[in-house]
Every structure is written in structure tokens, then in C-alpha cells.
Structure 1
Amino acid sequence: MNFVSGFFSGFALTTSVLYITITVHRATRLEQRRQIREQVDQINWLAASAGAYDRRFFPEHKPRSLEEGKSLKEEQITIKDVLKHRWNQEIGKFARNAQGNRWESVKETACKGWNDMLHWVKKD
């Protein structure tokens, strides 16, 4: 039984580390994407030459960082939000799976597995 528990605990540890690493990497990419878009908007707004001569042609669209009334904190996606979203997705999948299962077949499979394990341990 030590091999089985060691195997599954190692598997759980490895998958947890991979999941957290991928989630942090994704959150970092989203933050970088937001910052690059914001910088591109600022450069485009500053470089708009049409509005320099005639205010009627001045770009109406201002970059998000220059708009009044919105702070950068409201728009930032935090790792907490990403993790919360992922958690909700996983719980939703689990709930749909639990509702769609035939529990009698799960019970029969578990009983068959338990009996096979007992036969293997006893070496009948």
C-alpha cells in the first residue's frame, strides 16, 4: 500500500505544482498584454497628427490610462481573479459530471476494484 500512496501523493504534488505554474504564467501574460495594449493606445493617441492642426479631427478615443473616472486598479486582472475563475470552472465541470453520472455503475466498478484488490493482496 505504500507504493500506491506514494505514487498518488507524488502525482498530486506534481500536478499541483504544474497547475500553479501554468496559472501564474497565464496571469503574467494577461498583465503583459494589458500593459502593451495600453502603451500602444497612448502612442497612437499621442502620434495622431490629424488633431494637431484641427481640433475637429482630434482623436475622440483616448487611451484607457488617460480617461478620467477610471483608475488602473479597476481594470487590472489579478492572480486572485484568475484563480477564482479557474476554481469556478473546475467546480462547474465537477458538478456537471456528478449530475450526469450513473452512480450504480460507479458503485459496481468500485466494488469490483475492491474485490480485485482483496484477491491480489490475499493471492488466492
Structure 2
Amino acid sequence: MGFTSGLLGGFTLTASLLYLTTRFHRETRLHQATLLRQQSLVLNNVVEPLPPQPPPPAREVPAGLWETAKDKWNAELENNVRKLWSTDWNAVREGAEESVSAVWRRAFSGAREGVDAGVVKAQEGIDVAGRKVKEGVDVGVEKARQAVK
């Protein structure tokens, strides 16, 4: 170890020991001062007790706009949470199932009626076409007979 590093190491060690010693001494003195003040206050209160403190005056601060808005928000939130907890979710599920099945039935019963109506119209069209074809054949046969005569 060289002269410089030894000197710096010794200085660092000495300075840190002095710092820790003075810090410990200061903390001890502060603690002793606090204890002495506390003991002095206790002894003075035994000899001459302090009069009781009057109760603090009641202060009611009117709520501002922000506080009123927060209170309304909290009340609304509380009501919604209560409503969620008191809801019978099985009944809600059953109601939703019934609504969806009613819409489903209505959609497909309308389609079924449309198909049935289309079948009826197609049958009528086929009947009309059949009669027209028969009439056309009869007219053709009649014209062929007249042409043959």
C-alpha cells in the first residue's frame, strides 16, 4: 500500500468514525432533551394542572359543486349495484330465450307462409298454363280440321 492510498484510507476511516460518533452523540442528546421536556411537563401538570380544553366549535362546511357531483355519482352507482345484486338472472335468461324464440318463430313462420303462398300461386299458374295449352291445342286441332276439309 502506498503513501497516498494509506493516507486517504486513514483519513476516510478517521472521518467516518468522527462522523458516526458525533451523529450518535447528537441523537442521544436529542432523545434526552425530549425525555426531560416530557418529564417537566408531567411534573408541572401535577403541580398546576392545565384547565380542560373547550370542545372545538362545530364547523359544517357546505359541500361544493364537485362534492355534490361525487355524492350523486356514488348514490347512482350504489343503486345500480343494488339492482344488479337483486336481479333474478334466471328469469332474465328465460325472458331473453322466450323473446329470441318468438322472433325466430315469427321470422320462419313468415317464410313458411311465403313459401306456401308461392306454391299456391305456382299451382294456379300451372293450372292457367294447362288450360291455355289445352285451348291452344283445341284451336290448333280445329284449324287443322278446317284446313283438311
| Bigger relative CO (Cα 8 Å, ≥ 6 apart) | 1
Same fold (TM over 0.5): no
**TM-score normalised by L of structure 1:** 0.40
**TM-score normalised by L of structure 2:** 0.34
Larger Cα-atom Rg: 2
